[in-house]
Amino acid sequence: MLAIEALTVGFRRYRGLLAQVDVRALGPLEIGLARGEVLALVGASGAGKSLLAHALFGVLPPNALVSGRMLFDGIALEAQTLPALRGRKMGLVPQSISHLDPLVRCGRQLGWAARRAGRPVDRSGLEAALGWFDLDASVLDAFPHALSGGMARRLMLAMAIIGGPDLVVADEPISGLDADNAALVLGYFRRLADEGRAVLLITHDLVQAIPVSDRVAILRDGHLEGIAPAAAFSGDGSALASPYARALWRAMPENGFGLEPVDA
């Protein structure tokens, strides 16, 4: 349902008054995502994970240069097609919890997300959406600053999903969540995929992502290091084709192999 073909993202930077240079930040990337699938996208800070999410939704800054193709159910994602898809067929959970409007009650923001998707709901529908992420009805009347970081993140998850998108792109959706809530969110993603939707799960936490993911894509300095079945991340990692993936897996403190040079 999602095909990313030869995608590159760069930025135009100005040096002095006249000189400008284009700096490649991402790609070229080839990634496919099928309905029914959770694809984890992992990589270190600065690898380009959020850039990929922003490219998919067409929300990169104006100095970004994009080439290649992104197709959603065969429709090219571009300026003309994106407004009808994002927030409707494609839901984005942003990385930063500062994207809530501080002056608008949470319930109105959630209701607006549903209306934008063409699926307006009444108060009980809003309460049900909060319930998916273990938030109670009092959140509807609260302003965002009254929410803890973890509650704000779960509200943003409800906002991304209330419109019933076919594709969910979640950028670090479990960061700042306690273990119970992280499990709740990841379990929800798994169910979305099992219903025939698709989830791109962006995270730096490989260990948490593996149990709910079908495949894991590893991004390193803007390049795709490889895509491996989640099941290959087990034992000593010898089922992994990429030395980088193997080193990353073995370096997880949970695996107790100790640090190995990542360039192996």
Q: How far is the CB of 104 from ligand ATP (least distance, A)?
A: 26
The site map against ligand ATP for 74-113 (x = CB under 6 A) is: ---------------------x------------------
For Ni ion, which is the closer residue by CB, 53 or 140? 53
Q: Which of 29, 33, 42, 51 is the binder for ligand ATP (CB under 6 A)?
A: 51
Compute the 3-state secondary structure of the chain and give helix, strand, coil in percent, each to the nearest 5: 35, 30, 35
Query: Tokens 């169910």 — which residue?
Result: 191
Q: Stretches 42-50, 73-81, 121-129, 254-262: which one binds ligand ATP (CB under 6 A)?
A: 42-50
The answer to the question of residue 43 lying near ligand ATP (CB under 6 A) is yes
Closest residue to Ni ion using C-beta atoms: 50
Q: How far is the CB of 70 from Ni ion (least distance, A)?
A: 18
Q: CB atoms < 10 A from the CB of 178, how many?
A: 10
Q: Which of 3, 43, 50, 107 is the binder for Ni ion (CB under 5 A)?
A: 50
Residues touching Ni ion: how many (CB under 5 A)? Answer: 3
CA distance 67 to 48: 15
**Paired sense of beta strands 215-220 and 223-229, if any:** antiparallel
Query: Tokens 């942003």 — which residue?
Result: 94
Q: How far is the CB of 219 from Ni ion (least distance, A)?
A: 10
The answer to the question of residue 150 lying near ligand ATP (CB under 6 A) is no
CA distance 177 to 128: 20
Sheet holding 75-76, edge to edge: 19-33, 2-15, 64-72, 75-76
Q: Stretches 44-52, 144-152, 207-215, 236-244: which one binds ligand ATP (CB under 6 A)?
A: 44-52
Q: Stretches 42-50, 83-91, 159-167, 239-247: which one binds Ni ion (CB under 5 A)?
A: 42-50
- Structure tokens given for 117: 């998707």
- Structure tokens given for 206: 């490989």
Q: CB atoms < 10 A from the CB of 123, how many?
A: 11
Task: Report what 48 binds from ligand ATP, Ni ion, none; CB cut-off 5-8 Å by kind.
Answer: ligand ATP
Query: Tokens 């219903």 — which residue?
Result: 195
Task: Report what 197 binds from ligand ATP, Ni ion, none; CB cut-off 5-8 Å by kind.
Answer: none
Please answer whether residues 9 and 185 qualify as being in contact, where contact means their C-beta atoms are separated by less than 8 angstroms: no
Q: Stretches 17-25, 50-58, 107-115, 217-225: which one binds Ni ion (CB under 5 A)?
A: 50-58
Return the bridge partners of 228, or none.
Answer: 216
CA distance 21 to 192: 42
* Chain positions contacting ligand ATP, by CB under 6 A: 11, 25, 43, 45-51, 61, 95, 204
* Chain positions contacting Ni ion, by CB under 5 A: 49-50, 95
